[in-house]
């Protein structure tokens, strides 16, 4: 199992807001991902697109 570190993360945890993060693989390759929160149900479900 590979271990990742998250070197950069930006979260605005509200419906319609965005997130951006960049986990880094052990070989130092960064993988960027982004999305928009479409639905947030506290303690149950967080839906992103």
The residue among 40 and 49 whose pLDDT is bigger is: 40
Question: pLDDT tens across 3-29, in order?
Answer: 888 878 898 989 999 999 988 887 778
Which pLDDT score, from 0 to 100, does residue 9 have? Answer: 87
Question: pLDDT tens across 26-42, in order?
Answer: 777 888 889 999 988 87
Angstrom distance (rounded) from CA 23 to CA 15: 23
> Does 2 have pLDDT greater than 90?
no
> Taking a C-beta distance cutoff of 8 angstroms, is the pair 6, 23 a contact?
yes
Angstrom distance (rounded) from CA 15 to CA 22: 21
Per-residue DSSP letter, 30: B
Terminal-residue alpha carbon distance, the chain: 27
Which pLDDT score, from 0 to 100, does residue 49 have? Answer: 58
Which pLDDT score, from 0 to 100, does residue 48 have? Answer: 61
């Amino acid at each position: 199992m590979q271990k990742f570190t998250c070197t950069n993360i930006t979260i605005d945890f509200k419906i319609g807001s965005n997130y951006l993060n960049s986990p880094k693989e052990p070989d130092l390759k960064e993988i960027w991902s982004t999305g928009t929160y479409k639905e947030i149900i506290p303690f149950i479900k967080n839906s992103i697109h």
